[in-house]
Structure 1
Amino acid sequence: MMARGRGSAIGGGSLGVVALLIGLLFLVVATRAPVAGAASYMVGDYGGWKFNVDRWAKGRTFRAGDLLVFSYNRAVHDVAVVNAAAYRSCVVPRGAKVLRSGRDKVKLGRGTHYFVCTVRGHCQAGMKIAVRAV
């Protein structure tokens, strides 16, 4: 008569399956850890990307990996990613990345990021932000 085994060839029965599942869970958590603490911010809060939004970022702490969400009417606004000089002057250089979906998402890296609306007069009316991520 043959002896019946209770284990499996993979790792010792249910204990092996549990160890395998714990290992997979650890792998998933470990690979997602850098973004686990990331936050998402609606630029301008409930009012969205609008005039006089330039003060919105003051007093907020942003971290690399955080997400900025620009919500606006795409028929009348846009969002350009610019440098410090363009931010100060409200003159968008050729080749600047311009977002136009009306619900743009930008993941922050370390450093200061500058955004303006390219529609004539909007940047001058405060439709711009500078965000520093640590």
Structure 2
Amino acid sequence: MATPIQTKFFPNLLFFLSVALLLTSAVSAYEFRVGGPRGWTKPTGDELENYNHWATKNRFHVGDSLYFKYENDSVLVVDKNAYKECNTTDPQLKFVDGNTTFRFDRHGYFYFISGKPGHCEAGERLIIRVMVHSEVMPGAAPSSQPGGGSANTESGAALKTTTAASVLMAALGSLFAISLFS
């Protein structure tokens, strides 16, 4: 026969674990929109920042993704040397569909260039450093520079909500503990 504590404990534990699992999966990955509302385009010179400047103001983690929106262009994933030389001849990956989502599956550096002649040389290229750890440290949340540059975090660059999820998890844990003893 189950004791009153066991009867109360196990349903609450299952509920708590289900909520924790849902929250963990909901806050573990983010999509950053490259180029903001303008998308992945050849810089015209009137941008407030370039793609790499934007990238340094964000924190990328394994599981996050970049969304590239473009027309009459392409996104090439290349190595460091091809990036430096704007060499489009032998990319690791090539995307031409106009709506590309690239998911980070490892930490380290990723190099992206435009496949359209002259665009990479004009600044349509991007280096992303994916962090080793997936948790955001206090004060390291991505920043947003709305209303400007060729590569701002506007319209879906998804600010990290790990801190909010941690607070919610702590609150749920407190409720769980209280329910055990009430």
**TM-score normalised over the length of structure 1:** 0.72
Identity, % of aligned pairs? Answer: 26
2:67 maps to 69
Highest RCO, 1 vs 2 (Cα 8 Å, sep ≥ 6):
2
**8 Å CA contact 2:55, 2:127 repeated in 1:** yes
Q: How does 1:14-33 map to 2 (within 5 A)?
A: 23=14, 26=17, 29-30=20-21, 33=24
- The structure whose residues are more often helix, as a share, is 2
Any idea what SS the aligned residue of 1:88 has? helix
Counterpart in 1 of 2:174? none
User: In 2 relative to 1, CA 24–65 (structure 1 residues): closer, same or farther, beyond 3 Å?
Assistant: same
Query: Separation in 2 of the partners of 1:97 and 1:85?
Result: 15
1:120 paired with 2:111, answer: no
TM-superposition CA deviations, 1:82-103 (whole Å, max 9, x none):
0111111000242531011111
**TM-score if structure 2 supplies the norm length?**
0.55
- Higher gyration radius (CA): 1
For residues 32 and 90 of structure 1, the distance between their equivalents in structure 2, rounded to whole angstroms, comes to 41
Structure 1: 5+ residue stretches without partners: 1-15
Distance 1:100 1:35 in 2: 29
SS in 1 for 2:55: coil
What residue in structure 1 maps to residue 96 of structure 2? 100
Corresponding residue of 1:11: none
Residues of 1 paired with 2:110 and 2:60: CA distance? 11
Unaligned runs of 5+ in 2: 1-6, 44-49, 132-182
Aligned residues: 121
**CA root-mean-square deviation:** 3.0
